[in-house]
Chains A and B, each alone.
Chain A
């Protein structure tokens, strides 16, 4: 299995001199093709900075990131980003359909096909007949679905998601989590999902990258061996779920207290 994404010694510092902020110290990890990788860490640990470096919005101060072997220097092709603030990333002067089709403009796709792909993407996230509505006419959950649809219409190979469900209520969040899992399974896209919600990260991920406090490094990469397809009730009832969750929580707690990481508990032998 090849790597979709390779991050090597990534570092990002804002400013210089005594007031410099070392957002990211030294990050190294791989993202395998087709996997679902979650990134968690204590607040303020530069998760968003990392995504901005990966999506070409920021240039790292040191180190590199490569997408399918090609170094990332500016927004890479075939990469889409879903923002946390859906109500700010969806353009309020355009209808939903137009918003979803917007990225296709740069790809030189014709008008009819744009509309077709937009409708297809919207339906794949469970939104029907909302194409002519405006974003502010939709609920938060539906807006985020539309933002995801926009990313999907773009047909990326790597999907970055920046705490996309932080601003929606719990019920909607479960629905959206399942939506993302469904999309991942159906389309085989590689997903890098940043969240502060540990339960969510364990529920969604194949692997979890746990980050340290600033200057951020990789604390540990946790394998999530829970079976797929995941289910909101059954998966969360499994003992491994609790163990994994507890392990990650301890890791993060240790970061916050600045102490050493606790030794990883022996995971109960995963049911084969």
Chain B
């Protein structure tokens, strides 16, 4: 029992201490850029519970989801094709490598030219940037499928669709999920970038605008809100992955016990 408490204590002392230090250091309100926590909390309550949720939070989230969804669907589909088609993969490899190396904000500029300043630009930028981690990981995952599994599918004469959806894709799914996790982070970053560069609403815009108009507590509330959004999105991902990949954990555990590196 005390051991459990000890562990919990270890896990929370640092965060708690940091918050206390932050609170104490800013309490008197001397620093203009670091207002007292109480003011930040005030501003947070005003803005995000629930005044601006509809006008700034929801649009941001929708853009994020839309762009990410496009990237995931396209990435997995394309990754499947290229993973299974060596000629296509080799032909497109340099182009893909190049496109994926373009820093995402640069892409936003291109999107602004092609699509203007509206929502579709942001969705396109998010989709394009988050496409590549999923795409590349899907390709690698598909290529790395255990030959014994594909041989088995061949010998038992599985139909092509069964082979792809019941063997290849599930086998590649751990790697695909790893790519998804990266895409998630990229999508969030590009969302904020696009809102700061070309926005009239959204969290990114709100934070920048608050800073430019010296509404410091509001700026902080925006930052915290964005942090919360990132945390929640990540949490959802982790929970989903845990459920879908349950088999993977069980399988890895037994494989490890069976003598690891052979």
Contacts and interface: CB of A to CB of B under 8 A. Distances in A.
Interface of A: 52, 55-57, 75, 77, 79-81, 83, 85, 87-89, 91-94, 102-103, 105-106, 134-137, 150, 154
B152 A89 contact: yes
A89 B173 CA distance: 17
Interface core residue of B154, B156, B250, B253 (most chain A CB under 10 Å): B156
Interface stretch (B24-32, B81-89, B107-115, B143-151): B143-151
Given A56-B154, A75-B155, A106-B162, A88 B251 contact: no
A266 B187 CA distance: 78
Interface core residue of A57, A85, A91, A150 (most chain B CB under 10 Å): A91
Contacts of A102: 156, 158, 162, 166
Nearest to A55: B155
Interface in B161-210: 162, 166-167, 170-171, 173
Given A88-B146, A93-B247, A106 B166 contact: no
Nearest to B161: A105
B242 to A, nearest CB: 14
A102 B165 CA distance: 12
Nearest to A88: B148
B255 interface: yes
Contact of B157 (A87, A89, A106): A106
A79 B157 CA distance: 10
Given A92-B248, A92-B251, A93-B247, A57 B159 contact: no
A56 B170 CA distance: 24
A89 B250 contact: no
Contact of B149 (A56, A91, A154): A91
Contact of B170 (A55, A87, A91): A91
B254 interface: yes
A79 B154 CA distance: 11
A106 B247 contact: no
A196 B197 CA distance: 68
A57 B124 CA distance: 44
Given A85-B148, A88-B149, A136-B251, A93 B157 contact: no
A93 B244 CA distance: 10
A70 B250 CA distance: 43
Interface of B: 146, 148-149, 151-152, 154-159, 162, 166-167, 170-171, 173, 247-248, 250-251, 253-255, 258
A56 B156 CA distance: 10
Contacts of A83: 148, 151-152
B252 to A, nearest CB: 9
Which secondary structure dominates where chain B touches chain A?
helix
A57 B151 contact: yes
A85 B156 CA distance: 16
Nearest to A103: B156
B187 to A, nearest CB: 27
B255 A75 contact: no
Contact of B250 (A77, A79, A80, A136): A136
A57 B153 CA distance: 10
Given A105-B159, A106-B158, A137 B250 contact: yes
B175 to A, nearest CB: 14
B254 A136 contact: yes
Contacts of A91: 149, 166-167, 170-171
A91 to B, nearest CB: 7
Given A134-B251, A136-B250, A136-B251, A89 B149 contact: yes
A68 to B, nearest CB: 16
Contacts of B152: 81, 83, 89
Contacts of A135: 251
Nearest to B244: A93
A93 to B, nearest CB: 4
Contact of B156 (A92, A106, A134): A106
Contact of A77 (B157, B166, B251, B254): B157
Contacts of B157: 75, 77, 103, 106
A145 to B, nearest CB: 16
A94 B253 CA distance: 16
B155 A57 contact: yes
A80 B148 contact: no
Interface core residue of A87, A105, A137 (most chain B CB under 10 Å): A105
23 contacts: A52-B151, A55-B155, A57-B155, A75-B156, A80-B155, A81-B151, A83-B148, A85-B148, A88-B148, A89-B151, A91-B167, A91-B170, A91-B171, A92-B248, A93-B247, A93-B248, A94-B166, A105-B159, A134-B247, A134-B251, A135-B251, A136-B254, A150-B156
Contacts of B166: 91, 94, 102, 105
